[in-house]
Chain A
Amino acid sequence: MNKEKTIQQYNASLHFLGRITLIMASGLLIAVPFIIGAFYGVEPSISSFINGFMKVGMIYIPMSIVEFLIYTPMLGVGGSYLSFLTGNVTNMKIPVVMNSKEIAQTESGTIEHEIISTISVAVSAIVTTLVIVAGVILLVPLQPVLQNEALLPAFNNVVPALFGALGLKYFVKSPKIAAVPLLLMSLLCVFVPSMISQTSVLLIPSGALALVIGFVLYKKNLL
């Protein structure tokens, strides 16, 4: 009976704390660009923000909802509140929780698993923060090197570097989905060069086309 009460109190406090702290953290994160803007006397362009947010939201809001629905059962309540704030969910938090589950031999959905997953995610987030802080402290004296003119081509090509690596990973994983969008987008950019500077617009039809092809292949059991 006493254990039941402890569990109920624990669950209620996780939701209370989770909601309050997430609201406060979101406020802080949103405030950062405004504080920086105020410091330098500049304001964000509202029209550019809306334009950019529409494109980003179209891709990432549905993705966030899918991730929330899929990962919450694995992460538990406390683990979810922390993971969705501290990020790197698939590449770090989920593997850490699964590793701890193995060690502690807990079953998903039990209070023991809830406690183990919350502890794992909290420790993981703290360790990541400490590692990055140590790295940032080491990076500060390297600033003159990182800002050297000779390194400009590296930082100006960081996005092609990202999509080259990601492209290989995803195209190899799903060649049937990738072939048509890749061919069409390449042809479009070759024959309508004005589209080259409009990649943020291009990715909407490209993403939609890949989704439709993926869905058709899925329905026909071809994936």
Chain B
Amino acid sequence: MNTYLSSVNAPVFYLIVAGVMTFITMMCLLFLVKSYRTGIQIGMDEAILKKTIVSSAMFTLLPSISILLGVIALSGTLGVPFAWLRLSVIGSLQYELNVAEIAAQSAGLSGLNLAELNMSSFVTIALVMTFGILGGIICCIFFLKGYSKKLQSKPKNENTDNKPGFGAHATTAMFVGLCAAFIGSYIGKCFPQGGSDVMPLLVALASALVMGIFEFLIQKKKVASLENFSLAASMLAAMAFAVIANSLM
């Protein structure tokens, strides 16, 4: 077994992550109990509160399974415990993988490549992934109190212009730029001067094809429940394709 993989899957690592997750779960329980009790105190219907708990749990089950698929995808390079931690807090599969790739390149590797990864680069990658996603938490710690007060005092419907702001488009544009850079590099790799490595582009195309089928079913056939699985399932299908293609090439 690869020494690096043994290290990132060591039992002690599971214990550390379990400790952090226990703290976060206790925090959620604390907020849950406090809110439930306050709801009762101010006269909210207990049946509605219980219904909210049950429906939220049911509503979360399917997307949680898709996150679990993400843990499998990430565990092959960063180990199960760290994939478990990262996909249980703050980020999402696309953030974690993208940042891990950037951090790996910044650490002097060609990318998230098992043959090049070692514990020193892993620790650096883990630190970049952790710090890179703290923006939302920092905003909450320093600005949520003031911002929520401002929201409460803001009169409703003050915006007469119905045109949505550029914010939503900016996020999309940023992701388009990210994807363009990575897909461009896979196209470059196909040429002799780039190494004639067609596998990354083939895998990206396979993933895009599966995602295209999902998008068709979600947008045209209105199977909205597939939305939660489309990304993780497309990735896993493309990864399976990589194994098959590699054995044939």
Contact = CB atoms under 8 A, between A and B. Distances in A.
Contacts, number: 584
A42 B151 CA distance: 46
B137 interface: yes
B152 interface: yes
A56 B99 contact: yes
Secondary structure at the B interface, as helix, strand, loop or mixed, is helix
B52 A23 contact: no
A72 B147 contact: yes
Given A49-B127, A158-B76, A218-B169, A85 B97 contact: no
Size class of the A contact interface (CB-based, 8 Å): 35 or more
Contact of B106 (A37, A52, A99): A52
Interface in A81-112: 81-82, 84-89, 91-92, 95-96, 99-100, 103-104, 109, 111-112
Interface in B161-220: 166-189, 191, 193-195, 199-201, 203-208, 210-212, 215
A153 B113 CA distance: 10
B42 to A, nearest CB: 5
A154 B48 CA distance: 46
Contacts of B93: 162
A85 B72 CA distance: 22
Size class of the B contact interface (CB-based, 8 Å): 35 or more
B239 A189 contact: no
A177 to B, nearest CB: 5
Contacts of A189: 184-185, 187-189, 194
Contact of A13 (B34, B92, B130, B178): B34
A125 B139 contact: no
Contacts of B92: 87-88, 91
B134 interface: yes
A220 to B, nearest CB: 12
Contacts of B168: 70
Interface string B135-169: 11111110111011001100010000000001111
Interface string A54-96: 0111011111111111101100111011101111110110011
Contact of B20 (A28, A80, A193): A28
Contacts of B68: 131-132, 135
A167 B136 contact: no
Given A131-B61, A140-B80, A29 B173 contact: no
Contact of B123 (A36, A63, A169): A36
30 contacts: A10-B38, A32-B85, A32-B130, A34-B127, A42-B119, A45-B124, A63-B174, A64-B138, A86-B89, A92-B63, A112-B42, A114-B35, A116-B52, A125-B28, A147-B1, A154-B243, A159-B112, A160-B199, A160-B238, A165-B234, A169-B211, A169-B215, A169-B230, A172-B215, A185-B185, A196-B188, A203-B102, A210-B180, A211-B174, A214-B176
Q: What are the nearest 8 A-B pairs in CB distance?
A: A189-B188, A64-B135, A185-B184, A155-B76, A164-B207, A164-B204, A207-B177, A52-B106
Given A87-B90, A119-B53, 17 more contacts: A15-B145, A25-B27, A60-B95, A72-B148, A80-B148, A118-B34, A122-B29, A122-B31, A122-B32, A131-B60, A157-B238, A165-B238, A185-B184, A197-B105, A199-B111, A199-B185, A206-B177
